[in-house]
């Protein structure tokens, strides 16, 4: 969806409002295949990128067999992907989450799961499954925990009262059982990057979490996505002006599989942030998803090109 503040922009996939050639990104080095396990979540955050909530099932639960189909396609297409990543919603609400992870690990991939580490992850059956996977595939599984801010007050402002304590409880269980953890935070609090990372460093130290606050792949800080702010369109000339290459944008190295409510088949989406935009639905197969992505959305400009963010490590 394009906000009125950007009226006239991001309309033509190939040309900007000023008539310049719009930038595009080729799939040049696929490293991560994402699966959105469904948009249902146990909580509703104030600024959720894809509107996950206890009632939003716009993206329905994926099945383990659907994941297997794309793992087969990865091998057939020889993409060279090293990592399978799962996001939501809250992935551990999906009843087949453990089996989807197991099948991905069994193919030799590293697996990344984005989770809030709250009650869905803390169920007995889920914990038992995670422990089995940790034992069977040591060093291959990472859980990236959503900790919007290193302080309880600001984290709870985003995620609801008591959320911070429940997340910390889940992280302590992961710590005690030797899981590799990373953290995803937000930069919406007016702190500088060094200030924010110093706060996370103290949070990790106080809980003995083995997470590097100063490694951007281990503490990932996502920029604010304020749709009321005007953003520039990215032209082909911008690469040189910004001293940035298309290979630095995440659609050069990843795609995401989703299943829309009511759809007969899964779809491959260009970007983890744009699951509802038909323009970024690339088709049913990985072969169809090999075409370039036109950067025709405000998120492409602000989040990826100008913000420098990436959902992958």
Q: Which of 5-19, 21-35, 119-133, 285-299 has the lowest mean pLDDT?
A: 5-19
Model pLDDT for residues 176-214, shown as the tens digit of each residue: 999 999 999 988 788 999 999 999 999 999 999 999 999
Q: How far is CA 103 from CA 33, 136, 207, 210, 230, in A?
A: 14, 12, 32, 27, 43
Please indicate, yes or no, if residue 289 is contained in any of the structural domains.
Answer: no
Q: Is 156 among the domain residues?
A: yes
130-153 as b/e, with b when 16 or more CB fall inside 10 Å? beebbeebeebbbbbbbbbbbebe
Tens digit of pLDDT for each residue in 93-119? 999 999 999 999 999 999 999 999 999
The percent of residues in the chain predicted with pLDDT above 90, rounded, is 77
- In-domain check, residue 3: no
Instruction: Look at residue 266 and tell me if it is in a domain.
Output: no
Give the chain's mean pLDDT.
91
Q: Please report whether residue 205 resides in a domain.
A: yes
Would you give the distance in Å from CA 311 to the centre of its chain?
5
- Interval 295-309 mean pLDDT: 81
In a domain, 227, yes or no: no
At residue 169, what are phi and psi to the nearest 5 degrees?
A: -60, -45
Residue 312 has pLDDT above 60, yes or no: no
Q: How many domains, the chain?
A: 1
In the chain, the percentage of residues whose pLDDT exceeds 70 is 91
Q: Is residue 212 one of the residues assigned to a domain?
A: yes
What value, to the nearest 5°, has the Cα angle with vertex 258 and ends 166 and 170?
15
Question: What's the CA gap between 280 and 304, in Å, rounded?
Answer: 15
Enclosing domain of residue 55: 31-186+188-222
Domain with residue 143: its CATH number is 3.20.20.70
Is residue 198 situated within a structural domain? yes
């Amino acid at each position: 969806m394009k906000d009125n503040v950007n009226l006239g922009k991001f309309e033509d996939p190939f040309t900007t409002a000023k008539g310049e050639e719009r930038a595009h990104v080729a799939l040049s080095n696929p490293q991560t295949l994402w699966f959105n396990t469904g948009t249902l979540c146990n909580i509703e955050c104030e600024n959720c990128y894809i509107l996950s909530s206890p009632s939003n099932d716009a993206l329905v639960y994926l099945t383990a067999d659907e994941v297997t189909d794309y793992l087969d396609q990865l091998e057939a297409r020889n993409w060279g992907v090293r990592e399978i990543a799962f996001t939501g919603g809250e992935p551990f609400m999906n009843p087949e989450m453990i089996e989807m992870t197991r099948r991905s690990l069994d193919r030799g991939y590293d697996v990344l799961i984005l989770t809030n580490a709250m009650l869905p992850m803390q169920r007995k059956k889920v914990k038992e499954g995670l422990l089995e996977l940790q034992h069977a595939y040591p060093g291959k599984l990472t859980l990236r925990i959503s900790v919007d801010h290193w302080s309880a007050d600001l984290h709870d402002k985003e995620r609801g009262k008591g959320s911070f304590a429940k997340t910390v409880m889940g992280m302590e269980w992961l710590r005690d059982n030797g899981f590799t953890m990373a953290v995803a935070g937000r930069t919406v609090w007016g702190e500088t990057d060094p200030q924010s990372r110093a706060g996370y460093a103290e949070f990790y130290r106080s809980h003995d979490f083995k997470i590097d606050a100063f490694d951007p792949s281990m503490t990932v800080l996502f920029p604010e996505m304020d749709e009321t702010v005007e953003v520039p369109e990215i032209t082909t000339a911008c690469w040189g002006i910004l001293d940035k290459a298309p290979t630095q944008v995440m659609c050069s190295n990843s795609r995401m599989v989703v299943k829309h409510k009511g759809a007969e088949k899964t779809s491959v989406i260009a970007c983890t942030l744009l699951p509802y935009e038909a323009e970024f639905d690339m088709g049913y197969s990985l072969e169809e998803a090999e075409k370039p992505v036109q950067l025709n959305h405000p998120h492409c400009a602000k989040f990826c090109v100008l913000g420098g963010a990436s959902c992958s490590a």
